[in-house]
Amino acid sequence: MNKAADAARRISLPTILMFAAGALPLSGIGTAMSIYVQPYFAQDLGVGLIPIAVALFWIRIIDMGVDPILAIVMDRTKTPIGRYRAWMLAGAPILMLGVWELFMAPKGIGIAYLIVWYLVYALASSMVGLARAAWSANLVTKYDQRARFYGYLGFITVFGALFILLTPVISERLVKHPNNVHLMGWAMLALIPIATAITALVREPINADAAAQHPHFALRDYWSIATKPEVVRLFFSQFCLTLGPGWMANLYIFFFTNARLFTQGQASILLITYILAGVVGAPVIGYVGGRFGKHRTLIVSTILYSIGLCTVVVAPKANMLVGIPIMIWCGFMANGFDLMTGAMMADVGDQVRLEQGKERMALLYAVTGLAGKLAAAGAVIIAYPLLAAIGYQPTLGAHNTQAALDGLTIVFITGPIFWCVAGGLCFLGWKLDAQKHAQIRAELEARDTLVAQRAAAQARGASLPEHGALDPGVV
């Protein structure tokens, strides 16, 4: 193995912190959108559950083809400031515009307003999120180090969600009738440019393309990615593992305040506990994934998460002492979902680059990104009409019958358990383990070294054979 290349890809803790900074607003905005903003549209602005579901359905239909096209362009981008850094910087101001229009939405908005500004928000999130994901996969390349690296990233990015969740807790004590969604919007608008600038200071490794059979756009290459068994598994797993927690998040305020009789402030404290458990869970799960295998760790965490969630409905109502340990358990396990799927897709990205000789990392993350977006919309498109069908009324001050509240409980608990278990089971029989990935990395390092030697020789006016031998001192 090329020891110099391996050392160059090691990453220090300060660099991890700087890179993770860019995810803080993404984490905060995502938490606010699913837990507070969409219920805010229904409760405070008077937008019905069905119109919200219809708007999100059309957004995902329109948005479905955006991520793959965007990713293909990203992977082929070459600028003086890097491949993915440029896209992150370009997406940040567009993200701020989307946040402004959604978090500060006025009364009287309808489906058209939601579709337009959700699409702006979705485009910007894709630009920033895909760029960060592909960039992160190239920062660390070893199997075990990559799992731990994603664990550390999860540890830091949890604070973006915490920042949002603390807003209603603090505002209830400082302001008589606060508009928490507006406060969250202002906080994210301030955080986006600061966090983006910090991340932009991190180096961006650029993998050189190898000599390939298809130097330009080759449809067969993209088709082989779309049908690759590992990619298909990760797509369905990401869909399930986003839909499960997303389902829970979108019904969280309704369930904990109306069915479990907590105040909104208490519900926020429980959710903060859930997120705080992820601060500990992220590095621990990252370490376990690197030690025992990412796919095994993911399967176990989904099962344990589902067992913990079952206890929510049997715990005493409005009891914080019982609720806190349950949320700690569930939050600890849930934080491993995205960490492990992200690290596993990075491993698949190495495999694809070895096979095709081209950088496809952004495209691969677009696959899981598309699955996540479909699932995020599905959490609303499926769950909200179910609530309407059972007669649940979300508007403030509305009277709900016991039957409606029982229906809310059933809808809240069954969706996350089913989808999370299904997401974990996608990895039964997974083959891309530490040993296979080590072989892939050894071949990539050898080929990358040859590409670098050939480029250096050409710069000196010399040449190497197309399949020439490496410098014996390199490997």
What was the pLDDT predicted at 419? 93
Please tell me which residue, 349 or 358, carries the higher pLDDT value: 349
Confidence of residue 158 (pLDDT cuts 50, 70, 90): confident
pLDDT band at 212 (very low <50, low <70, confident <90, very high): low
Cα separation, 430 vs 292, in Å, equals: 13
Q: What is the pLDDT of residue 473?
A: 35
For residue 132, what are its two tokens? 């960060």
Q: Which two three-digit tokens encode residue 308?
A: 């913990």
**Which is higher by pLDDT, 5 or 101?**
101
The average pLDDT across 378-407 equals 81
The pLDDT assigned to 462 comes to 59
Q: Decide: residue 367, CB within 10 A, 0-12 exposed, 13-18 middle, 19+ buried.
A: buried
Report the pLDDT value the prediction gives residue 236, as an integer from 0 to 100. Answer: 95
Residue 296: the pLDDT is 93
- Domains contained in the chain, CATH given: 3-205+223-432 (1.20.1250.20), 433-475 (no CATH)
pLDDT-derived band at 420, boundaries 50, 70, 90: very high
User: Quick one: pLDDT at residue 8?
Assistant: 43
**138 within 8 A of 79, measured Cβ to Cβ:** no
Residue 25: is its pLDDT beyond 60? yes
pLDDT of residue 197: 95
pLDDT at 233: 96
Q: Residue 327: pLDDT band by 50, 70, 90 thresholds?
A: very high
Average pLDDT, the chain: 84
Is the per-residue pLDDT at 1 higher than 50? no
Residue 364, both tokens: 């691969």
Note the pLDDT of residue 210.
61
Joined together, the tokens standing for residue 394 give: 């979300």
Q: Give the pLDDT band (50/70/90) at residue 191.
A: very high
Amino acid 267: pLDDT? 86
Q: What is the pLDDT of residue 465?
A: 55
Tokens of 279: 């601060």
pLDDT tens track for 70-112: 888 888 888 888 889 999 999 999 999 999 999 999 888 888 8
Cα 322 from Cα 82, distance rounded (Å): 50
pLDDT tens-place string over residues 341-354 = 988 999 999 999 88
Q: Which of 102-116, 204-218, 249-263, 318-332 has the lowest mean pLDDT?
A: 204-218
Is the sign of the CA dihedral 65, 68, 71, 75 positive or negative? negative
∠ CA 69-71-76 to the nearest 5 degrees? 100
pLDDT at 100: 95
pLDDT computed for residue 235 by the predictor: 95
Q: Among candidates 257, 274, 304, which has minimal Cα distance to 408?
A: 257
Report pLDDT for 471.
41
Predicted pLDDT at 5: 47
Identify the pLDDT of residue 472: 34
Amino acid 417: pLDDT: 93
Joined together, the tokens standing for residue 429 give: 């029989």
Q: What is the pLDDT of residue 136?
A: 87
pLDDT at 218: 59
Closest to 55 measured CA to CA, from 124, 119, 121: 119
Single-letter residue type at 311? T
Taking the C-alpha atoms of residue 34 and residue 112, their distance in angstroms, rounded to an integer, is: 20
| Reduced 3-state DSSP string for the chain | CCHHHHHHHCCCHHHHHHHHHCHHHHHHHHHHHHHHHHHHHHHCCCCCHHHHHHHHHHHHHHHCCHHHHHHHHHHCCCCCCCCCHHHHHHHHHHHHHHHHHHHCCCCCCCHHHHHHHHHHHHHHHHHHHHHHHHHHHHHCCCHHHHHHHHHHHHHHHHHHHHHHHHHHHHHHHHCCCCCHHHHHHHHHHHHHHHHHHHHCCCCCCCCCCCCCCCCCCCHHHHHHHHCCHHHHHHHHHHHHHHHHHHHHHHHHHHHHHHHCCCCHHHHHHHHHHHHHHHHHHHHHHHHHHHHHCHHHHHHHHHHHHHHHHHCCCCCCCCCHHHHHHHHHHHHHHHCHHHHHHHHHHHHHHHHHHHHHCCCCHHHHHHHHHHHHHHHHHHHHHHHHHHHHHCCCCCCCCCCCCHHHHHHHHHHHHHHHHHHHHHHHHCCCCCCCCHHHHHHHHHHHHHHHHHHHHHHHHHHCCCCCCCCCCCCCCCC
